[in-house]
Amino acid sequence: MAWAGLVTKILLVIICSVGGYLIAGQIERFAAVSWAPWAGVAVGFSFAIIAIWLVKFIRRIPLKALIGGTLGLLVGLLIAQLISYGFISVENTTIRVATYVVLVCIFGYVGMVLGSIKIEELGWPHWGWLHRGVTKGGTLKILDTSVIIDGRIVDIVEAGFLEGVLVVPEFVLQELQHIADSTDSSRRVRGRRGLDMLKKLQESELAEVRIERQDFDHLQEVDAKLVALALRLNASIVTNDYNLSKVAEVQGIRVLNINKLANALRPVVLPGEVLRLHILKEGKEQGQGIAYLEDGTMVVVENAASLLGQEVEASVTSILQTTGGRMIFTTLKSSEQGRRH
């Protein structure tokens, strides 16, 4: 997909450059000028770059804003045309043309800007599909601050398990910037990591990242604003915040929790299964040793406190699922075998 986009851009640049060369060479006024075709190449190349930039810019604009802006532009041009009829009687052609151009620029610009803004106020039923979060890749997915800082969202997108439009609210960007500017070094590192992860998402062509400028001034908490935005756009929320997940689910919002996904992808461990573990530290209870699986799951091994730094075989007795993750309880399969290690 990325290669296809790159090839298309290269072809566009080549075609525009060659077209500029041929057109400039055929214009009689410049035919005798040796450098004219090369100036045509430069102009064609410039138009290609502008077109690529416009596509990159426009793809981040919500569909309803594009439609509203287009309708506003058409209305503005129509008003300019009607007003210009009053200047038909003016004999001076230069004044008449200049007046028409000025009117078109003024009313076209005002109509486009007002149309893109005021379309939010339309409440007609047949405009509802513009406000729903349904896109070609599925529902709109709003990213919260925690999931951006976490960074696993980048790997999930690159693996192809999350596609479509990823919405980053402007108030989340502001929170990231506030964290990155913190005087606390750990918070500053987390904030800068979040900004780096967001940059990687924007550079990835597997998902579209859209900056949503809607805000809710009457709400103070970022989580409350996320819920309000999700309800307005009928979008999902991608997070690893347990409390935000519960609040959003209560209000009927679909939540994609990265921690739940990580738990679902962990290897299945069944009671009675034998694990080979490396005892790293003592547990809270007397005699317990603590080990970890490759995915970070904590394993409590009974009667293994004296085997720190050793490798043992332990049999799974029970599995406890908590809000913070999964804990596995085991007993030594053979204490003597563990001591030999």
Q: What are the tens digits of pLDDT across the range 258-310?
A: 888 877 777 778 888 888 888 998 888 888 899 988 777 889 999 888 888 88
Domain boundaries for CATH 3.40.50.1010 within the chain: 132-264
Superfamily of domain 274-340: Nucleic acid-binding proteins (2.40.50.140)
Q: Under CATH, which number does the domain 132-264 receive?
A: 3.40.50.1010
Percent of the chain with pLDDT over 90: 16
- Count the neighbouring beta carbons within 10 Å of the beta carbon of residue 105: 12
Q: What are the tens digits of pLDDT across the range 151-171?
A: 888 888 888 888 778 999 999
Q: DSSP character for 76?
A: H
Domain boundaries for CATH 2.40.50.140 within the chain: 274-340
- Give this prediction's pTM: 0.51
Spatial distance between the Cα atoms of 53 and 47, rounded to a whole number of angstroms: 10
pLDDT greater at residue 33 or residue 228? 228
* pLDDT at 238 (0 to 100): 93
**How many residues would you count in the chain?**
341
* pLDDT at 192 (0 to 100): 92
Banded model confidence at residue 126, pLDDT cuts 50, 70, 90: very low
Look over the chain and give the mean of its residue pLDDT values, rounded to a whole number: 80
* pLDDT at 121 (0 to 100): 56
Banded model confidence at residue 30, pLDDT cuts 50, 70, 90: low
Using CA atoms, how far residue 245 sits from 35, 261, 322, in Å, is: 64, 13, 15
Spatial distance between the Cα atoms of 85 and 102, rounded to a whole number of angstroms: 14
Pairing verdict, β 274-278 and 255-257: unpaired
Banded model confidence at residue 336, pLDDT cuts 50, 70, 90: very low
* pLDDT at 128 (0 to 100): 43
* pLDDT at 334 (0 to 100): 66
Q: What are the tens digits of pLDDT across the range 62-91?
A: 666 778 778 888 988 888 888 877 766 766
Among the listed residues 219, 226, 230, 224, the one whose alpha carbon sits nearest the alpha carbon of residue 173: 226
pLDDT for residue 179 is more than 90 = yes
Partners of 281 in beta bridges: 290
Least confident of 118-122, 194-198, 254-258: 118-122
* pLDDT at 63 (0 to 100): 67
